[in-house]
Structure 1
Amino acid sequence: MKKPKLIEVGVAKIEITPVRPIRLTGYSDRDFPFSGVHHKLWGKALAFGNSKDGYSLLITLDLLGIPGRITEHVRKELAREMNVRPENITICASHTHSGPQIGSIVSHFHKPLSPDELAEVALYSQGLVPKLKEVSLQAIRTIAPARVSWGQGEVGFAVNRREHIKPNGPVDHAMPLLKITDPDGKIRAVLVSYACHAVTLGPLNNVVHGDWVGEAQLQIEQSLPDGAIAMVSVGCGADQNSNPRMNTKNPEMDLENARIQGKSIAGEVSRLIASSELKSLTEAPKGVLSNVDLEFAGMPDPMKLAEDARGSGRTSNYSNLMLGKMARSEMPEKISYPIQVWNFGKDLAMIFLAGEVVVDYSLRLKKQIGKDRVWINAYANDMPCYIPSLRVLKEGGYEAETAMIGYEKPSKFKEDVEEKIINEVNRLLPQAFR
């Protein structure tokens, strides 16, 4: 039997656990800095390629999201250091709601951040860029010939959380997996993805924690050879919650439920690795990157904002910030939305979408391209806001409209948002995938 072609791959990880007092993000009613560390948080990097043909880097982070400005800083640093092109660098966040605030949704809290707390957010964010640069360079330094393969399993703990609007709403239970081994078959790294919010822990657990994503990484690594690294990204899970989750009567159960959910991911990884279902990849990934303008449907009434700003709580914080932007004529009418596509030759297209993308996007793209040829990641490269589909926009609710408050956006999107994104993805895809 002919052996699969080798691809040059490196992998590394670096700790990004906060060491100073900082508010955890994702829930609006956490009023104080974290009380302890249950999980260490990590940044991990996969590097493909060589100095002659160029490098591609995929970074995963145990954070709620990655602000676009941080992604741009990392890209500039790596372009200067190793001449890595921006389209070949992607950063995927786990969307854990038990990680530090990094500046994406500072108006999301009922209790506004104090000047000292804002300073802590700034310090943490500033420290992230050099760490992501370092883990990327470490991964490049470990590049060696490897066998790369991929396949898909299935895990069932994600549920559509919009049942009050659409009972039995769509889900995507696929769990794609990328396996990297040395030429003799010893596993060096695995990357998996799942379309589900990392919200098993609720706000009553005010501890640093990777949620089900962190548990999955820990348990996968326990099952792999010493030194192997497990990476987890998140798919189009903006309207998907882990189930069970957020036990308000017994918050300690959240920790156990996250462990059980992580075990289900780790178990499916073990099954796939031991199976004959994985397909070999023979080419290192090459990327393309572009931005598409997504327009907002309207602008808020300044007088209504002023009335709300005189109150208290999360919407009051939002209204204050919006009024300041309107007074300076800085209210955005649109966002510039990044879309990235990596192709591993003709065998696999990996799509990276920014922000909190609802499940309709992955289901539509898989139907169009073929579910055995495409892998869709969300929460990648930027954290602008929720990205609803046309269906979700018409249904209304949190993911369509009210979530925009936390992201300091003026309104919901216009109804062409889905078509603009899908059309741009199609434009970026290689001809073989259209």
Structure 2
Amino acid sequence: MKFIDIKRLVLILLAFSAFQLTVFGAAPKTLNVGLARVAITPETPVRLTGYSSRDIPFEGVQHELWAKAMAFGDEKKGYRIIITVDLLGIPHRVTERVRDALAKEIGISAANLSICASHTHSGPQIGNIVSHFNKPLDPDELAEISLFAMGLVPKLKGVALDAIANAAPSLVSHAKGEVNFAVNRRTSINPNGVSDHSLPVMRITDLDGKTKAVMLNYACHAVTLGPKNNVAHGDWVGEAQIQVEENLPEGAMAMVVIGCGADQNSSPRMNTKNPEMDLVYAKDQGKQIADEVNRLLADDDWKGIRQLPEGKMKYLELTFANMPDPKKLAEDAKGAGRTSNYSLLLLGRMARSGDIPEKINYPIQVWDFGKDLVMIFLAGEVVVDYALRLKQELGEDRVWVNAYANDMPCYIPSLRILKEGGYEAESAMIGYEKPSKFTEDVEDKIMNGIYSILPKSSK
């Protein structure tokens, strides 16, 4: 009997060793990883953000909206935390308050915390693009938005601390797939517009190889649902999380971060004649993601991650090309709609203090996981050129680029798009209350900034 037990134990150990060698390629190293989630769906209806035509609060909840946290490290080695939120964007003031709260609690540095938004256009307004609406927000709506934003900070702090409390030795690996429903939306300006269909995935397992979480990245706007679906909804991102989790062991978590998808739309999307079809499209797009994740999980082509990420952060000054003319703003403000709201807001700021920014402080962040993976975080709505350039220069399989991270200042165009013009280059600045497009050195500044904080092994 003892002999049988020993033999069985040896077989189990051999099987586990084979799993480790298959997935990680060499003797794996465990990393302490914790996971947690918290619902952030507004408790009272508020105006959903992302579409200027919406003029009333949401009329129902189709999806629960979530904040999810993944924490690496321990008290001795320090913590690195990534939080995903089902929101259009994360304002810098929210990020900074969460950082300050966690710094006091656990001593985390700014470079080791990142908050990434899903960019769903069916989530609540929390202070991003307030001037984007055709109908201005009324006082009661502004109060609800303020209360929601104030309540978000303790929730994000709490979910980070819960992830730390749940941390346990884990195995971490990454792989890359491909999904094709993202399309370049600027083809009317440039018929040769490019897309990025890559789907990098990170997997967290326990020491028995059971999946605890996956985090995936896809470069695409979350705009499958149009404004006629006035319901809280995670869009294709929410559907992807739901369907990936349905395929994972019970209790496992799926997180989605968005790549450089500012000029990429989901296709199909926004059926104006039959808006209920938007929900069908989102489910199908979520299934495409879930099926590709399933395919990867069944494959052996995973690279092990053997070190905790080391974070670095830098702020860059990005300059606007010109300042607005008060007389022109006054004329525009006398009209109606989104442009009128923008002009009135800017004119009021100029009249009170001349407080129109000539530049913004733009955060960039890098997490170095070692020779096999470097993760780059960029704020705002970043166009696909940045990811494609970084992958070309640094290696397709080694670079993972997250946009909509830590702040939501505005669109971040490349030099090519600035020269082409159009929405992402210039007119989108109206919704963000920015004075004009950027100067043409914006891409060089960002790329040089990224290179200045990349690990030597990546350059």
Residue 425 (1) aligns with residue 415 (2)? no
Is 1:263 the equivalent of 2:287? yes
Residue 90 in structure 1 maps to residue 108 in structure 2: no
Please state whether the residue corresponding to 1:107 is helix, strand or coil.
Answer: helix
Matched, 1:379 2:404: yes
Counterparts of 1:220 and 1:405, CA distance in 2: 37
Alignment of 1:396-415 (within 5 A): 396-415=421-440
1:276 paired residue number: 300
List aligned pairs for 1:316-327, cutoff 5 A: 316-327=340-351
Separation in 1, partners of 2:98, 2:370: 26
Alignment of 1:129-144 (within 5 A): 129-144=153-168
Q: What is the Cα deviation at residue 19 of structure 1?
A: 1.1
In 2, Cα distance between the equivalents of 1:10 and 1:253? 37
Match of 2:224? 200
Report what 2:59 is aligned to: 35
2:83 is matched with 59
Superposed counterparts of 1:15-414, under 5 Å: 15-327=39-351, 328-414=353-439
Q: Aligned partners of 2:135 and 2:60: how far apart in 1? A: 20
> Partner of 1:259: helix, strand, or coil?
helix
Distance 1:77 1:271 in 2: 40
- Encode CA deviations 1:275-326: one digit per residue, 9 max, x unaligned: 0111000001110011000000001111010011011110000000110122
Give the partner amino acid of 2:118.
S
Task: Letter of the 2:435 partner, please give it.
Answer: P
How far is the alpha carbon of 1:79 from its aligned partner? 0.4
Cα RMSD after superposing both structures: 0.6
- Pick the structure with more helix per residue: 2
Q: Any idea what the Cα deviations from partners look like across 1:163-198, whole Å, max 9, x if unmatched?
A: 110013110000000000001001110000100000
TM-score normalised by structure 2 residue count:
0.94
Unmatched runs of 5 consecutive residues or more in structure 2: 1-20
Structure of larger gyration radius: 2
TM-fit CA distance, 1:3: 3.4
CA offsets 1:106-135 (integer angstroms, 9 cap, x no match): 000000000100001000000000000000
**Deviation digits for residues 190-245 of structure 1 (CA, Å, limit 9, x no counterpart):** 00010000000000000000000000000000000011000001000000000000
Instruction: Report SS of the residue matched to 2:82.
Output: strand
SS in structure 1 at match of 2:265? strand
Alignment-mate amino acid for residue 200 of structure 1: T
Using the TM superposition, give the Cα deviation of residue 369 of structure 1 relative to its aligned residue in structure 2, in angstroms: 0.4
CA distance in 1, matches of 2:54, 2:65: 19
Correspondence 1:14 to 2:62? no
Tell me, in whole angstroms, the C-alpha distance in 2 between the residues paired with 1:270 and 1:138.
Answer: 28
Percent identity, aligned pairs only, is 66
TM-score by length of 1: 0.99
Counterpart of 1:147, as a letter, is L
Give the Å deviation of 1:346: 1.9
C-alpha distance after superposition, 1:309-344 (max 9, x if no partner): 011110000000110122211010000000000011
Distance 2:456 2:143 in 1: 48
Aligned residues: 434
Residue type of the partner of 2:455?
Answer: P
Write the distance in 2 (CA, Å) between the matches of 1:37 and 1:286.
38
SS in 1 for 2:400: strand
Structure 1 counterpart of 2:18: none
Aligned counterparts of 1:44 and 1:286: Cα–Cα separation in 2: 21
Taking the aligned partners of 1:251 and 1:188, their CA distance within structure 2 comes to 36
The amino acid of 2:273's aligned partner reads K
- Partner SS for 1:237: coil
Residue segments in structure 1 that go unaligned for 5+ positions in a row = none
Which letter maps to 2:366? V
Alpha-carbon distance in structure 1 between the residues aligned to 2:276 and 2:454? 45
Deviations 1:13-34 (A, max 9, x none): 0000111120000000000000
The CA distance in 1 between the partners of 2:417 and 2:74, in whole Å, is: 43
